[in-house]
Amino acid sequence: MAHPKVRTRALGKGLSALLEGTEGPASLEKIYRVSVSDIHPDPEQPRQDMDEEGLQSLAESLKVYGVLQPLLLKAEGQMYRLVAGERRWRAAQLAGLEEVPARVIEGSEGALREMALVENVQRKDLSPIEIASALQALIRRHGLTQEDCASRLGWSRALVANRLRLLNLPESVRAMLADERITEGHARALLGLETEEEMLSWAERAAGGMSVRQLEAALREAAASGRVVEKAASKSTPIQLPRRFRNYSRHGVRIRMSRRGEAARIVLENLKWIGDEQLMSALEECLQRLYPEA
């Protein structure tokens, strides 16, 4: 199946490094127009969570600008399997596009899986925890070292190590990071604490409005004075929000929820950017998360 070449573009460091010594780089220089219906998804795609609202938003953008970043595909008979770009492909379907730009690559299954993981890590819309999980998958599935990951991504080894350390946070604090109640800088500062209780206590304080520098200074002061870190004022457990609600933060909307025994708390702020139906949907899904046994 032949497709006309439309343009060429240099490869990113990560993809070039992955395919050194294979037939991939030569084919990657060509960008083809491929029918959307000739593409099928990879069942082992690294990221399975597809935000429906985000997809619809991307589809609206594609109607105006088209697909700007080519998909990566592997030829399989008369069809193509997605290596990277499933979100763009699904949004293109929603937008009613008949063709999308793509690079058709060759390589071993191991190299293609690794490439998909690298592309996933390099995306800008992933949370720090999702990036850390993808890095962990690169190391475990493909036998890579932290140095290998750093080389493929164009990162420093220290950055890779710091991202991986985020997985050592307790689940409650990871949920706060995923929901953007605290930043990655806050999370790294918390990793110096000894117990989960201390981490959660200080995470709650940081979420109340402390900057990273303020948190670091407070932790140094507490350590120097030998004070026992005060217990969190609340024993409530933060509950992670569904991904589609995290996208509201781009418009200044804040949705937080936590549970303490049978009691629950839902906090919604700056709601002028969402409609009544979206608000009711958010509340219903929050309640399902808080009381899954109901």
pLDDT in tens, 110-167: 777 777 767 767 666 678 888 888 888 878 877 888 998 888 888 899 999 999 999 9
- The residue that leads in pLDDT, 286 or 192, is 192
Residues annotated as part of the active site: 86
b/e 2-32 (16+ beta carbons within 10 angstroms → b)? ebeeeeeeeeeebbebbbeeeebbebbebbb
Cβ–Cβ under 8 Å, residues 31 and 103: yes
At residue 95, the pLDDT reads: 93
At residue 233, the pLDDT reads: 42
Q: Which CATH code is given to the segment(s) 5-108?
A: 3.90.1530.30
Cβ–Cβ under 8 Å, residues 197 and 225: no
**What confidence tens digit (pLDDT) does each residue in 224-280 have?**
776 545 444 444 555 556 555 655 555 555 666 666 555 666 666 666 656 667 667
The answer to whether the predicted template modeling score (pTM) of the entire model surpasses 0.75 is no
Q: Where are the domains of the chain?
A: 5-108, 184-225, 239-290
